[in-house]
Structures are given as structure tokens and as C-alpha cells.
Amino acid sequence: MRTLDWMVLILSLVTIVGYGLYRGRGSGTIQSYLLADKSMPWWAMGLSIMATQASAITFIGTTGQAYVDGMRFVQFYFGLPLAMIIISATVVPYFHKARVVTAYEFLEQRFDAKTRLAASIIFLIQRGLGVGLALYAPAVVLSVILGWSERVTVLIMAGVVVSYAVPGGIKAVTWTDVQQMMLIFLGILGAFFAAVWLLPSDVSFGDALYLAGASGRLNAVDFSLDPNNRYTVWSGLIGGMFLALSYFGCDQSQVQRYLTGKSVGHSRTSLIFNAIVKVPLQFFILLTGAMVFVFYQFERPPMLFNKTAETRMEQTFEQAGDGLAGVQYQAALQQYNEALAKRRDTAYRLLEARRNGSTGANPGELQDANRAVEAARREGITAVELAGDGRPYDDTNYIFMTFVTTYFPVGAVGLIIAAIFAAAMSTISAELNSLATTSMIDIYRRHFHRGATDRHYVLIAKTATAFWGVYAAVFAFFGGRLGSLIEAVNLVGSLFYGSLLGVFVLAFGFPSVTGTGAFTGLVVGEIAILLTSWLTGISFLWYNVVGCVVVVATGLVVSRLSRSWFR
Amino acid sequence: MPRDLIDDKPPFLNTWGQLYAAIVGYLFFLIGLFYAFTRAYQISP
């Protein structure tokens, strides 16, 4: 980071805080603090919804994913437009008509207090873990890339978010989301054009696509029916739709965005905006990752993208030269360098053959060369894991940032880092805001202190926002010690979403279902998801389908039985 | 009708139903486009 980069980053952060404070002024009532007086236009809500979903890891991880695995991850988003249509047609008018502040408040109107409480607690657990991770994951990556302490990056992000989310409430959160999303768009566009521009002068964009395709990195669509294949058109359309239905329809961090709409039409349009933009946007981010992959066909990529791990391995070799891990690492490094040189030659020969229409090289050779590079890198990673007592090593999230900080021109690095901070903060602020809202509306006001003044409730909501901010920072401080628990946290969303969705499907779609039926369905559905997770190897995208179906079936059966018993 | 229940017309097309149908069509167009993209650059040895 040079002076200009620092200036871009600091200016971005200061502008975000200043703008958030300016927009959030006058939020003195509950309606204003939590629902922005229902004054938001569709485009602000639409960008806020998108910014909330796009975490920093989505940004840097997705490009890394395309580098490692190609573009098939785009299929994960195929179900999103369908979910947006369903939510827009059903959930949005119901929530507006019910005049609720949280999605779970609606469950009490429709069923009973215990169903509302259970759903609120599930949300608080799940989103509470999520916000810690949303802060921790990018903090780790940024700390390694920038050479700062993890605690510094955590404190910067948490401090900035809390400074505008606490005083300004949802107005501040939504308007800064708009600004942050524009910064993210700018970052993505800049990264894509820089990746193409940085290719060798004799390699055109068409050549880059050809090489990416020959290396299996442009595999955007897969129609196979294998349920263990995580990303296919079917898992994306069906599993992805259920996941998106759960996230956008039942998760307060998203529901609260579109509840601030001026009208049902504005709320609906904000969702439709996401239905139109999200899939092409993800495609574009993944294509950027594929371009980074092609770029590294001609430039030497590090064997380990995590600098800390690389330094540790070099020290391991220097300190205990004949130690197994160190020797294995050095051998892998030599093998890796040789494989890279061979791959670069093959790529050039392949392009030459393509241009001349000759048979001087064929794509199979490039695929073999890629496999050789990957095999050498895997050897190196095995050595890292050996040195780290078997702890798994994954540097997917470091690939894009390594590329940016090593090759981008001055100023552009600051812009990308600012975009990543923005992506992290937009997610965290919306999550803090929704956690505080549920804590205050569904727990505090409903169960502990009814009938107080607006001023009192706004104070509690502000305190709750600050509390969740501190909680997220503490979680992130100790994130490194959680080890594999972090991976488990990633799964948590999928473990809870399906059953939450099932309860809302019962609420909206089945007028005959009783509170007891819905509550029993929620419990049985949750057990079914946990059993599916433990006993089968199916992709997590299907958990939502399983949970939702079990909740609905159980809810219907129990409601019917309970009615016949009482008759 | 209360202010927050006013359901404006969709931003384009005449009814929300038409807009939803257009979005479904758009999604399948995108999948078709991505499939064509995948096939175009699926280069076998």
C-alpha cells in the first residue's frame, strides 16, 4: 500500500461514516430507527439487499473459486430470481399488510407466541454466528495481505460500522449500503479490466477465453443429475431457490431491507432489481477469477497464496533443513517451478497453433500441464499441513488479493481494498441492525417490557446494536482459536434456514395449520436437517429442501390430528 | 388504502404477473446463454 492507496482507503471510510451519520439523523422513533419511516425508494433498497448479501468473502472468495474450480459456482444463483418472484408475489404484501417490524412478529399474528419466539431464537443464534464470521473472515485475509494484525482490521471494520449504525439505525445502514455497493461495482469493474489489461501484450481477450476454456475454467453450466455434485443447474434452481427463499423471505437481515419501502410496489421492485442483476454480476465476478487464472499462466503465481504460511515454511526449512515438512516443501517448490515453466510454454504454443490453425499443440497438453502444476502445489500444501500438525490449509480467499496487491497500479490497490472493506461493512451493518431489531422487538418488547415509550425502545435498540457490534468483534478476536468450528459456522445457515422457511410456508400457504402444528413442524424439521447433515453426504443446498418439506408435512399432519382430538 | 399498502405498477410491463413471467424468461435465457458460453469454450483434446 502506497500513499495514494492509503488516501483512497481512508477517504472511502471517512465518506462512508460521514454519509451514514448525515443520512441517519433524526431517527428518534421506532418507525424511523428500524423502518426508516417506510420512506425508501426501490433502488436504495435494491442496492442495500445486494450489498447485504455480498460479503467481503463473496467478493474475494468467488474470484478465488473461479481460479481453482472454474465458473460452475454461478449455478448456485440460478434459483435466486425465482425466489425473488415468489417473495415479491406473496411475502411482501403480507408483511406490509401485517405492519410488522420483524418477520417473526408476523408468526405470532398467524400462529402463536411460542412459534415466534422459537423462530426469533433460531435467527439470533444463526445470524449471531454469521456476523462474527462476516467480520472475522475478511479480517484474517486483509491482515495477511496488508501485514496488519488481525485485531487492527477487526477493530477498523467493527468501529466504522458501529459508529454509523448505532446513531443512524436503518436509514444510515441502507444509505451507506448504497454507497458501498457502488464502490463494490467500481471495484469489480476495475478488477476485471485490470486483469485483462495485465495480460501479456500478445495475448488478446479472445486468447484468454480460449486458454481459460481449455483449462476447464469456463464451465458455467452443468446439467448432470448427481446429487453429490454441489453445483449443477438443478441444485442451483431447486436448492438455490429454497436457500434464497429462506434467506430473503425469512431472515430479518434481508426482510428489514424491503420493509422500509415507500409502498408494496417499491419493495417488490427492489427484489426484482436483484433478480435481474445478481446472476450476471456473479458471472462477471467469476469471469474475473478466470482471467486471473489465465494471467498466472504467464506470470509466476506463488505456490502458497497465504504469505504467512509461505514465510513459515521457508523458516521451517531454514531452521530444520532436513525436517520432513521442510524437505517436502522445497522438493514441491522445485517441481512447481518446473511445471509452471512448462505450462507457460505450452500455453504460448497452444495460442500459436490456434492462430496458425496448425497442430503444433493441443488443449490436452495444457490440461496435463495444469494438472502437473496442481499436483506440485498439492505436494506443497501437504507439506504445509504436515508442518501445521495436520491442520487443513486453504488459500482460495488469498488468490485474488495476492493478484491485486502484487500487480495493480497505485491507487487501484486502495480502491479494491476499500471495496472489500465496503463489502464487509455493508453485510455487518445490516446484520447488526437486524440482530438488534429482533432482540428488541421479539424478545425485549414482547417478553420483558411492554408499553414503554418510543424513546426507551430506540435507546434499547441502539444499545443492542452496540452490543452485537462488540460481540462480533470479540468473536472475531478469538476466531483464530476456533479452528474447524469456523467451517461449522459456515454450515449453520443451511442447518437452520430450511425449517424457518417451512414455518413461513405454513403461515402463508396453509390457513388450516395451527400454532402447535407449526411449532412441532419447526422442531421436527430441525431434527430432520441435522440427521440429513450427519448421516448423508448430499450437498448442503438440499438441506433447505429437506427441512422445508418436513416442516410443512409435519405441520399439516399435527394440525389435522390436533383438530380431530379436540373435536 | 393506507399509504404503505399502495401497490404501484411495475417499473415496466403492465402487470406484476407479466413482469414475473418476463423474469422467468430472462433467467432461462441467461442459463441458455451460459450453456452456449460453456460449450463454445469447452475445448477437448
ipTM attached to this prediction: 0.91
CATH of the domain at A186: 1.20.1730.10
The answer to whether A41 touches A177, Cβ cutoff 8 Å, is no
pLDDT digits (tens, 9 = 90+) for A69-125: 899 999 989 999 999 999 999 999 999 989 999 999 999 999 999 999 999 999 998
Q: Does B1 touch chain A (CB under 8 A)?
A: no
Q: Which of residues 7-36 of B touch A (CB under 8 A)?
A: 7-11, 16, 19-20, 23-24, 26-27, 30-31, 34-35
In the predicted structure, residue A22 carries a pLDDT above the cut 80: yes
A386 and A435 in one domain? no
Residues of chain A contacting residue B11, judged by C-beta atoms under 8 Å apart? 42, 269, 272
End of a domain among A462, A480, A498? A480
Q: Classify residue A302: in a domain, yes or no.
A: no
A462 CA to centre of own chain: 26
Q: Give the pLDDT score at A486.
A: 47
3-state secondary structure A279-333: HHHHHHHHHHHHHHHHHHHHCCCCCCCCHHHHHHHHHHHHHCCCCHHHHHHHHHH
Residues B41, A218: C-beta atoms closer than 8 Å = yes
Residues A238 and A269 in one domain: yes
pLDDT at A27: 82
For the stretch B12-36, pLDDT in tens is 888 999 999 999 999 999 999 999 9
pLDDT of residue B17: 93
Cα–Cα distance measured from residue A79 to residue A86, given in angstroms and rounded to the nearest whole number: 11
Count of CB pairs separated by less than 8 Å, A with B: 99
In a domain, A213, yes or no: yes
Under an 8 A CB cutoff, do A96 and B5 touch? yes
Mutate to test the interface with A, among B1, B3, B6, B8 (most CBs of A within 10 A): B8
The answer to whether residues A546 and A524 touch, using CB atoms and an 8 Å cutoff, is no
pLDDT at A288: 93
Does residue A24 sit within a domain?
no
Task: Enumerate the residues of chain B whose CB falls inside 8 A of the CB of residue A74.
Answer: 34
Residues A422 and A378 in one domain: no
Give the least confident one: A264-278, A399-413, A427-441, B25-39: A399-413
For residues A220 and A95, membership in a common domain is answered with yes
Specify the range with the lowest mean pLDDT, choosing from A143-147, A248-252, A497-501. A143-147
The minimal CB distance from A363 to the residues B20, B34, B43 is found for B43
What is the phi/psi pair of residue A40, to 5°? -80, 135
In a 3-state reduction of DSSP, which class is residue A412? Answer: helix
Q: What is the structure's pLDDT at A30?
A: 92
The grid coordinates listed for A513 are: 395449520
Query: Are A470 and A524 found together in one domain?
Result: no
**A469: containing domain:** 3-17+33-296+406-480
In a domain, A26, yes or no: no
State how many domains chain A has. 3
Specify whether A372 is located in the same domain as A383: yes
**What pLDDT, in 10s, does the model give residues A389-401?**
777 888 888 888 8
Domain-wise residue ranges, chain B:
14-45
pLDDT of residue A476: 83
The mean pLDDT value for A147-171 works out to: 90
A9 and A72: one domain? Answer: yes
pLDDT at A223: 92
Residue A528: pLDDT band by 50, 70, 90 thresholds?
A: very high
Same domain, A78 and A227: yes
Q: In chain B, what residues touch A363 (CB-CB under 8 Å)? A: 43-45
> Where a domain ends, among A454, A480, A506?
A480
Mean pLDDT of chain A: 88
pLDDT of B1 over the 60 cut: no
A324 and A287 housed in the same domain: no
Residue B2 has pLDDT above 60, yes or no: no
Q: What is the rounded CA–CA span in Å between residue A114 and residue A142?
A: 42
Rounded average pLDDT over A166-192: 91
Q: Residue A484 pLDDT > 50, yes or no? A: no
Distance of residue A223 Cα from the nearest chain B Cα, in angstroms: 9
Grid coordinates representing A508 are: 402463508
A374 & A443 share domain: no
Q: What are the CA-CA distances from residue A330 to residues A220, A327, A377, A393, A395 (Å)?
A: 36, 5, 11, 17, 19
Q: Rounded mean pLDDT of A162-184?
A: 92
Q: Answer whether residue A172 shows pLDDT above 70.
A: yes
Residue of B nearest to A275 (CA): B23
Mean pLDDT of A339-354: 91
